[in-house]
Amino acid sequence: MRVASRKISNEALIIHAIFSMAVVMLVVTGIYFYYRFILVRTGLTTYTCLFLLACIYTGRELCIRFYLRNKPFHFSLYTVLALMAIITIWPLAAKLVFKSPHDIIEFSVTTLPFLIIGLVMGIFIKLIRASIQKQIQDAQLAAEQKQSELNLLQSQLSPHFLFNTLNNIYGISITQHERVPALLLQLSNLLRYSVYDTKNQFVPITEELEYITNYISFEKLRISDRLVLQTDIETINNPAIPIAPMVLIVFIENAFKHARNTLDDKIYVHIALQITDNDIVFSVKNSYNGSKQENSTPQVSSGLGLANTIRRLNLLYEKNYQLDQYITDNMYIVQLRLKIK
């Protein structure tokens, strides 16, 4: 999220820089025009430029002190007073140089619009700059809030998995205590990844698949001969493809969990994953003997793991993922498509 925040900030700064350069070029062009055709014969070139800068600065200060502080009445009042001051002071200044009324009028008429534009320009420059700064601050705040939420969600991954797994091992230890040492060894390998390697927002997909393979081995030890497992995981040509950690495993864990709750002698779990040009396509199917009608859509589980995962998907992938869950032919099916980052 910090990367996204920097990207937004850089784009805003580029826009601001382009706008500022355009304004500077406009001012320089205007000064050159008046210098070349009007001011060079009067001797007021330096004074006109200084007064123009004073008008720009005045517009900027009016915007800062009144408009940006939600004082529209004061802003309007003092802007009108500033315009009146420019219109009044500049002809009086021209009288100090020109003696002919015709020259005074001609000089005032040709330069006053430029000075008024300077005042308005100062206001708009500050307004646009303030708008860009607010966009940057909002983007940074949103990114920080998302990062904090992600940190909280990721901190819940290991406790959730450990809670479920220890419950399962406890049940096995009562009737098949000889299998517990192998399960604990497999559990330690799983926890090493879930505790130490999932702190990043994205990990290489090969690391996630290795963890899934270890988890499947762990489930084989627990379920033993009752499990009928099919895996169709294609060979990964690009091991550096990023994926959010501990996303797929939640659906696999739920598949084993719900399949074990059936009364059938055999439980069926089918896990598939393939990589297309732009997507990671994942699916998992498991035995399901619920009371719902065929082709009905199951309610989203209120468990921490699934709710946590969906929230992380929303934060990390936003609209770049598609998740479908449904029941058909006594099979609970989950299909997930992730846009490759």
Strands (E), 86-244: 203-204, 227-233, 242-243
Q: Which CATH number fits domain 156-339: 3.30.420.10, 3.90.1200.10, 3.90.1010.10, 3.30.565.10?
A: 3.30.565.10
CA–CA separation, 142 vs 317, rounded Å? 15
306 contacts: CB under 8 Å, gap ≥ 6: 250, 251, 254, 300
Burial of 288 (0-12, 13-18, 19+ CB in 10 A): buried
Average pLDDT over residues 35-59: 66
Output the pTM of the full model. Answer: 0.54
Q: For residue 37, what is the DSSP state?
A: I
Q: Select from 260, 243, 273 the least CA-distant residue to 334.
A: 273
117 contacts: CB under 8 Å, gap ≥ 6: 30
pLDDT tens digits for 265-322? 788 999 999 999 889 999 999 988 765 434 444 434 444 567 778 888 888 888 899 9
Q: Select from 268, 161, 290, 143 the least CA-distant residue to 218.
A: 161
- Whether 87 shows a pLDDT value over 60: the answer reads yes
> If pLDDT is split at 50, 70 and 90, which confidence band does 324 have?
very high
* Per-domain residue ranges of the chain: 2-148, 156-339
Q: Encode 263-281 in three state secondary structure.
A: CCCCEEEEEEEEECCCEEE
Output the CA torsion 181→187→189→192 (10° steps).
Answer: -130
Q: Select from 7, 302, 2, 4 the least CA-distant residue to 148.
A: 2
